[in-house]
């Protein structure tokens, strides 16, 4: 594997591991929220009906958070795997030209980062891109 591919795969693995860790923590919270008895500390201070409603609400929030996090993970991985970011980068330059601005001075781009991004994209996907340089 070439260096950019190793970095890319490592990034994807770390992204998935972070998501998995957060899901593990969320599952621990879900177990706690499924308890319906009022803790001894709150006995007499919080009505049981209100405590149960609060637990159900928090459990629903955690469940929704699980679905939301999974959907966000899929969307992000889709963006990374398809290489759409370089495409969007180039399209913004086109849009800037359409509204009669100079993309090199009116919108600050860092040529060093731009070139590294293009080289990374070209090596990663092993295909031609309008800005690819010969290796």
Question: pLDDT at position 69, please?
Answer: 95
Which of 47, 67, 82 is where one domain is finished?
A: 82
Position 22 scores a pLDDT of 96
pLDDT, one tens digit per residue, over 113-128 is 445 455 555 655 555 5
Q: Do 88 and 74 share a domain, yes or no?
A: no
Domain co-membership, 25 together with 74: yes
Residue 14's pLDDT is 95
Distance in angstroms (rounded) separating the CA atoms of residues 9 and 5 = 6
Residues of the chain under the 50 pLDDT cut: 106-114, 116, 135
Domain range for 111 is: 84-135
Phi-psi region of 102 (alpha: psi -120 to 50; beta: other; left: phi over 0): beta
If asked whether residues 7 and 53 sit together in one domain, one would say yes
State how many domains the chain has. Answer: 2
pTM: 0.62
Q: Are residues 56 and 104 in the same domain?
A: no
């Amino acid at each position: 594997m070439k260096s950019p591919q190793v970095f890319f795969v490592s990034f994807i693995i770390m992204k998935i591991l972070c998501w998995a860790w957060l899901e593990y923590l969320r599952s621990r919270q879900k177990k706690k929220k499924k308890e319906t008895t009022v803790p001894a500390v709150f006995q007499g201070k919080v009505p049981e009906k209100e405590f149960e409603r609060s637990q159900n609400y928090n459990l629903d929030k955690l469940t929704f958070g699980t679905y939301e996090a999974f959907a966000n993970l899929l969307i992000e991985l889709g963006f990374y795997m398809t290489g759409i970011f370089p495409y969007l980068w180039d399209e913004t330059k086109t849009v800037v030209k359409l509204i009669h601005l100079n993309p090199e001075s009116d919108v600050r781009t860092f040529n060093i980062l731009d070139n590294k991004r293009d080289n990374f994209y070209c090596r990663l996907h092993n295909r031609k891109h309008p800005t690819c340089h010969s290796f």
